[in-house]
Amino acid sequence: MKNQALLNAIIENAIDGIITINQKGIIESINPSACRLFLYNQEEVIGKNISLLMPSPDREKHDSYIQNYKSSGIPHIIGHDRDVLGRKKDGNIFPFRLGVSEVKFEGERIFAGFIHDMSHQKEAENRLMQYTQHLEELVKDRTQTLNETIEALTATQEEVSNTLEKEKELNKIKSRLLSMASHEFRTPLSTIQLSTALLQRYAENIDNPKIETHIRKIKSSVVNLTTILNDFLLLEKAESNKITLEISTFNLQDFIKEIIGELKLLTKKKQKIISIPNTEIILVKLDKNLLKNCIINLVSNAIKYSGEETQIELSTSIADTMVIINVKDNGIGIPEEDHKHLFEAFFRAYNTGNIPGTGLGLHIVSRYVSLMHGTISFKSAIDKGTLFTIELPRYD
């Protein structure tokens, strides 16, 4: 009797709903949680067919489900969880997870259903999915607008590039367009990036791979758009001679650690950025901003053109009065026939495929290295990775 009382207490106080029916589908017991869920009192459902709690078409077919099981002996839902719909007393339909167990008691079959309400989770998933789709539409719209701006810029350049006066006019138009692009796109892109990060945090406890997939797409699109915008702005500065050297003294090793910390956010699954420090080099006198842009560009390319679970090495050394910086990856490599064009504006190697890019990054790096009175070189082969080497005077 004590064990029976304990069992009854557990059932009565269970968080999830518990309903038992006989082999004719008639409800024999229902616990308080199930009553609250379906908005019925026990007296209203006990002795009634379980189809009372089902929406159509399950309501009309349930008795045949039981008969098929009795005649065939093949269980379709017994022993397995599945998501189904229930019908409340007020007619509202709601989702829940159902687990059914069969118990043979005193020569009769009793079926016990364990009901876990999924209403809040489904509502949260739907809201997240709608928000994700909204963000994707924003990224798509911004991408289209940016592409239209770039196309307009290119068309204008072709139209006015015949004479010196037209070239000057082009530069003015280009500067205005790029200034507009910077103002109009940076704030929305930052908003989308922040919203995506928040969305990912809110979705951490929801096991839905589709949400994570959409979030990755949005984050990737934002990074690509930001890179395109930055490349055009940097190119405009370099070509209009708006960049002047700003030499300062700084700790090179701390500087590189800081850059790696930022770039780790861009790495693919199980990619690693390895820094190989050189104790011979501590303080250097260089243009910190230009050097940071060069290293970020080279390492970002290494991340983009290398696969998952690969390693990217960033190392420094010294030779005479030159600081040497190496960036090495194990990515797709650069075809030999493309080597001579690699630092040209808008050039991309033929094996880059669908990997996004503007073809401006290495051109900008080469311009910056030249401004710092240094040199950049590389060694590469298809599927054997690439090694970029920057040599810069130390200004001691």
Residue 345 phi/psi, 5-degree rounding, is -65, 135
Q: Which two tokens stand for residue 265?
A: 């956010």
Is residue 371 within 8 A of residue 244, CB to CB? The reply is no
Length of the chain: 396
Asked whether the beta carbons of 50 and 25 are under 8 A apart, the reply is yes
- How many angstroms separate the Cα of 254 from the Cα of each of 137, 260, 354, 366? 40, 10, 35, 24
CA distances from 307 to 41, 270, 332, 356 (A): 60, 9, 8, 15
- Coil, helix or strand for 292? helix
pLDDT, tens digit (0-9, with 9 covering 90-100), for 121-150:
888 888 888 888 888 888 888 888 877 877
pTM > 0.75 = no
Q: Exposure string (b/e) for 156-179, b if CB count within 10 Å is 16 or more?
A: beeebeeeeeeeeebeebbeebbe
Helix (H) or strand (E) holding 244: none
Rg (CA), the chain: 33
Question: Among positive and negative, which fits the CA dihedral 368, 372, 373, 378?
Answer: negative
- Angle at CA 97, nearest 5°, toward 92 and 98? 100
Quick one: which of 326, 297, 321 has its CA closest to 385?
326
Q: Are 174 and 153 in contact (CB under 8 A)?
A: yes
Pairing verdict, β 283-287 and 247-251: antiparallel
Instruction: Let me know: does 281 contact 323? Beta carbons within 8 Å.
Output: yes
On whether the CB atoms of residues 356 and 348 are closer than 8 A, the answer is: no
| Tens digit of each residue's pLDDT, the chain (396 residues) | 566 666 667 777 778 889 988 888 889 889 998 999 999 999 999 999 988 899 888 777 766 666 666 555 556 567 678 888 999 999 999 999 888 888 777 777 888 888 888 888 888 888 888 888 888 888 888 888 877 877 777 776 666 565 656 666 665 665 666 555 555 666 677 777 777 777 777 777 777 777 777 777 787 777 767 766 666 666 666 666 667 788 899 998 899 999 998 888 888 888 999 988 777 777 888 989 889 989 999 998 999 999 999 999 999 988 878 899 999 999 999 999 999 999 887 788 888 888 877 777 888 899 889 889 999 999 999 999 999 999 999 766
